[in-house]
Chain A
Amino acid sequence: MSHQPVKFYQTGTFTVGNRLLDESIRSVQATKTRSNSLNSGHRACQGCGEALGARYALDAAMDVSHHQLIAANATGCLEVFSTPYPETSWQLPWIHSLFGNAAAVATGIAAALRIKGRSEVRVIAQGGDGGTTDIGFGCLSGMFERNDDVLYLCYDNEAYMNTGVQRSSATPPAVRTATTLPVGAEPGNVFGQGKFVPTIAMAHGIPYVATATVADLFDLEYKVKKAIQIRGAKYLHIFVPCPLGWGAASSDTIKLADMAKECGLFPVFEAEHGKVTGVSKIRKLIPVEEYLKRQRRYAHLFGKSPATDVISKIQARADENIRMYGLLATDVR
């Protein structure tokens, strides 16, 4: 695990806080003084993983930067549900860019701060998977290549949710979306080549790349804090279940994020200068089927005659991740 958990017997560092732990090692989310960067009253759906992930990440960033933080935000749910004019849920300097240029806007902010000599102010760019892996990808790659002093946060809910669940290049194979209906010989999204932006970010050789989920708060906070303290381009890819787009129970958000990690479909790791330096091991391996079954976007794979061939192809992808990143506890890394 990238984040070294404090050895604690009753509850691990898995709970948000713990009355038995020293205050200094509890999570930012456990404190009464957390900044609630994304405040109540936002219009995200019930149980939105993106809303949760954004508060987790930005509160940690606010904490470590002593509230010296500016965020640029691509169009997408996160922007729309938080800031319907004239209201906003944000409790930090925040700017809405376009759908595809959050990285470039953040680069501009970082440049301005550099010229003004305000090195204590940290800059974040954030967006959904569509805004990051598709339309914003050129600006993002440029930001990496120039090693601009920005932390880019991608909230991956695996489709264009804000506009009604259309496929993005981060949508997994076989998933039903509005544009990949479960019809024809290969229902749902195609098994393409895949596009996993964390590894593309690593290929740029930038100082820090990591993945995280809303199911492991300590790990997420650790990664945000570490990234904020690094000068240069950083990329953090956060897995955020979307109850609406995935057809999942709103109470399942954290559970699904955990299951995605525990079955191997979403590898949680960190990398420095292009090399993986730590992975979160699977605590209790589960078959992908358990994860898929809880989501209606995969419903066409189950039912009377389950599409076992498709399920085993998805399992093969998970197995490949497990092998490639060494996700089992027995793997040494």
Chain B
Amino acid sequence: MNKPFAITLDVGSSLANKTGSWRTQRPVYLNRKPPCNHQCPAGENIQHWLYLAEEHQYEAAWRVIMEDNPFPAVMGRVCYHSCEKVCNRGQVDLPVGINSVERFLGDQAIKHDWQVTPGAPTGKKVLVVGAGPSGLSAAYHLARSGHAVTVLEANDKAGGMLRYGIPKYRLPREKLNAEIARIKKLGVDIQLRTRVTDLSATLAAGHYDACYVALGLQQGRLEPIPQQGHLPVLDAVSVLRAVELEESVAPLGHVVVYGGGNTAIDVARSAIRLGALSATVVVLEARDQMPAHPEEVREGLEEGITLLNLRKIIQIQDHTLTLEIMVSGEGRETLPTGQTEAVHADLLVQALGQAGDYSLFSSLPQEVTIQNGAVLVDQKGMTSLAGVFAGGDMTPSARNATAAIGAGKKAARHIDRLLRGAMESACLPQELADIRWMNTRYYSDAPRTIRPILDIVRRTSGFAEVVGNLDEDTALFEARRCMSCGNCFECDNCYGVCPDNAVIKLGPGNRFKINYDYCKGCGICAAECPCGAIRMETEQI
């Protein structure tokens, strides 16, 4: 005993005192699913690619998009970006401009000629009918899985409605061409001007192991309206196709478009660009009920289109259209008032929907189920006939390019499993990264970068692209507004705020670990994790 007076014990560190035994709750790290990812019709891992973009890793970010969607540059222009509507940042200030960053990354890839590699050959052959976004998406994913893919397309060029529907002022063709060329480089054989009329014959002739059919809806619907005289009446699909092919359709003059969807707005905006004296869109629904994207409508109005809501065309007398004035009823219903008004027209374009042509299925050994003009498919995207998959506009769906791409991806995944004889992998549904799990105090306030809009004059006088691009600085700024919902972004908060030093920092990329020897279960780390990547769980005692 060599100790000072009255001292009987050795000095020791408090590390001997394992305060973890006090705990009744334990913090656990987890990943929650960000609402943007959950919403994206193509199933993109948005949070992940924004995370990489934040670090200037643009190519890596682009490759994450390419895991799910081969069309970032196209998406960044035409996708209706429903992801932004659910973005949690929208509850803090404004949603992250996900779509703009996607466009930036897509354009970077084209600029730097980034390419993708095909998978190891499997020796299996897959037929894709239709080179629209859905067929091309399926072909892309199948090629990346190593299957030999042939795409048969009736048109002169690939792209489907991306080319023959969406006008080039919204989607410059060099972007579309570049992204299709990249798919071809994967080894996908796209045969143009090849209409499939007898699917069973085509399948037999090519010895295909499976097929994906994505025909879209190619016929514009014409509603019969009592007509006297000789006013030209056309459907929107034919008009937009003619615009793309630079064929003249009819004398322009005063153009009236009938319909409330995006197609109607596209026709009207195209008409203005082609020199029409006026472009009036007659819409049955009220302004807030019409299906067209509000942004498209706003841009159209800025360019000078006229909108006539709550109107129904009931008669055509030479160049005079009789419109009945409607009122909104319950829900989306509209009711006639009996009152009418007259509008002058030199051309009437009906944009009231499209129909599909499914005659190629007729020779199949078993019937493919068709309901309400759409081909029915199961959870996997397969029709009632084994091995024949279908998707995109021709199946019951949201009928937009992104959903079509998503359907192509899903079918490709199931075709791949079918061809490999692989089992379904059951994956547990991930909890949603609801904002109530997050602590948004830590995100500083930053306004959304508004995409520069080309001035009206430039836009109406040609087919120049309307929505401008973000430069690198702005794209980076925008990406960094992402709150990384539900996924640790290594902010060090948990490591810093623990009063018991019970969080171990594992270093860049490796995240953190709880030291349960000392964690008292206070819950501060979970409360202060900005993005909701920590959950408190009751301790089993």
Contact = CB atoms under 8 A, between A and B. Distances in A.
Interface of A: 5, 8-20, 26-27, 29-30, 32, 36, 38-44, 46-49, 51-52, 55, 82, 85-89, 217, 243, 249-255, 258
A38 B498 CA distance: 12
A79 to B, nearest CB: 13
Contacts of B423: none
B501 A82 contact: no
A49 B489 CA distance: 25
B520 interface: yes
B493 A15 contact: yes
B16 to A, nearest CB: 6
10 contacts: A17-B496, A19-B489, A27-B496, A30-B495, A41-B19, A44-B500, A51-B499, A52-B524, A87-B11, A254-B497
Nearest to B55: A20
Interface residues of B, number: 53
The 6 A-B pairs at the shortest CB distance, nearest first, are namely A17-B492, A12-B444, A16-B496, A251-B523, A41-B14, A47-B522
B421 interface: no
A15 B530 contact: yes
A39 B14 contact: yes
Q: Determine chain B's interface SS by DSSP, over half rule.
A: loop
Contacts of B442: 11-12, 14-15
B480 interface: yes
Nearest to B449: A9
Nearest to A16: B496
Contacts of A39: 13-15, 501
B500 A10 contact: no
Contacts of B527: 251-252, 254-255
A238 B442 CA distance: 20
Interface of A is mostly: loop
A16 B492 contact: yes
Interface string B516-537: 0110111110111010000010
Interface of B: 9-19, 22, 54-55, 441-444, 446, 477, 480-483, 489-493, 495-502, 505, 507-508, 515, 517-518, 520-524, 526-528, 530, 536
Given A19-B489, A44-B499, A10 B17 contact: no
A290 to B, nearest CB: 14
Contact of A16 (B9, B15, B493): B493
Given A9-B444, A41-B19, A29 B13 contact: no
Nearest to A44: B499
A27 B19 CA distance: 26
**Which of B443, B505, B507, B524 has the most chain A CB atoms closer than 10 A to its own CB?**
B524
Nearest to A243: B522
A20 B480 contact: yes
B502 A40 contact: yes
A147 B495 CA distance: 37
Contacts of A29: 492, 495-496
A43 B19 contact: yes
Contacts of A32: 505, 507
Contacts of B536: 251
